[in-house]
Structures are given as C-alpha cells and as structure tokens.
Amino acid sequence: MQYISHDQSPIGGILLAADETGLTGLWFDREKYYADHLDPEHEEKDTPVLKQAKEWLAIYFSGKEPPFYPPLHMIGTPFQLSVWKILQKIPYGKTITYGEIAKEIAEQKGISRMSAQAVGGTVGHNPISIIVPCHRVVGTNGSLTGYAGGIDKKAKLLALENVDIQHMS
C-alpha cells in the first residue's frame, strides 16, 4: 500500500509517496512525469517516512544540507537503479554531466561506452526528485537541461545549493 502526503516548498507544491519500506515518489505539482510511480490505490496519511521526508525538505529549503536521508524505496529496472544510485552519490552543491554518469555505468558493466541519452532518459524518470538529486545533472557543456520539474526549478535548486549557475544556460 502506498501513502501520500502534500507539502509546499518555496518553489511549488510537492506530492510525496511512500510504502512500508520507504519513500517511493517525490514530484513537483504539474511536472512532466507527475505521480508516474503512484499506485492507483493509495491513501492520504502522514506516515513516519513521509514525515521524515518533509523534515528533510524543510532543512533543504532553509539552505542547508540535511544531515540524514529518509528511507528510500526506489523501484525500477536494474539499469534505472544503477543510474539512480549514482545520482544519490552526487555531493550537495556539486554537478555531474550525463556523460560522466554514462562513463561510470559503462565501467560498472565492463563495456566500452554507454549512451548518455539512455542515462538522460533514466535521470528524467527519477521518481524521487530533490532527495535523489537529478537536478545536479547538467549537459556536457554545463548547460541546464532536462529536468522534469522544469528548468526554472532546476536553476533554483542549484542556486539554493550555492552552485554558480551564471555560466549555465
């Protein structure tokens, strides 16, 4: 059973979803893949996991790096899970390119190369925005590209983390 809760951030409304294991979704209202992984049958209820996620978001939106993470329950293919695991390792206030993620996945798989486009599609379908920081992934030339919540939100999240976005377009 999935449970949902709503939260309001300085950059828009957020829908959170969790099951008994951990957080399964975090979407900005009206984002491209809104509630993509939400079970048709769910219940609105502030569970301990959802409360932890809201506490994490409150700290994050105050401009600080949260000292903890709520439990996560990422559901996807082995490829998706490997990409999302790399996203979780991107430090607060830092960025990485789609190509760098593709290179890391290729190394993990023992192959010569991996498609940055395949990585981009998987990053774009990350069901747990912000906490699994897909906003920290930028184009090869450092450009702000490919954020399901919208490029404006991506820029605001990076600025909140004190990333210099002046040279990014």
* Catalytic positions: 134
Residue/partner pairs of 151-154 with CB below 8 Å, 24 or more apart: 153/11, 153/12, 153/28
How far apart (Å, rounded) are the C-alpha atoms in residues 94 and 90?
Answer: 7
**How would you class 23 by CB atoms within 10 Å of its CB: exposed for 0-12, middle for 13-18, buried for 19 or more?**
buried
Shortest CA distance to 132 belongs to which of 9, 30, 24, 43?
A: 24
Please check whether residue 37 is in contact with residue 74, taking contact to mean a CB–CB distance below 8 angstroms. Answer: no
Phi then psi for residue 153, to 5 deg, are -70, -40
Q: What is the CA radius of gyration of the chain?
A: 16
Phi-psi region at 164: left, alpha or beta (left = phi > 0; alpha = psi -120 to 50) = beta
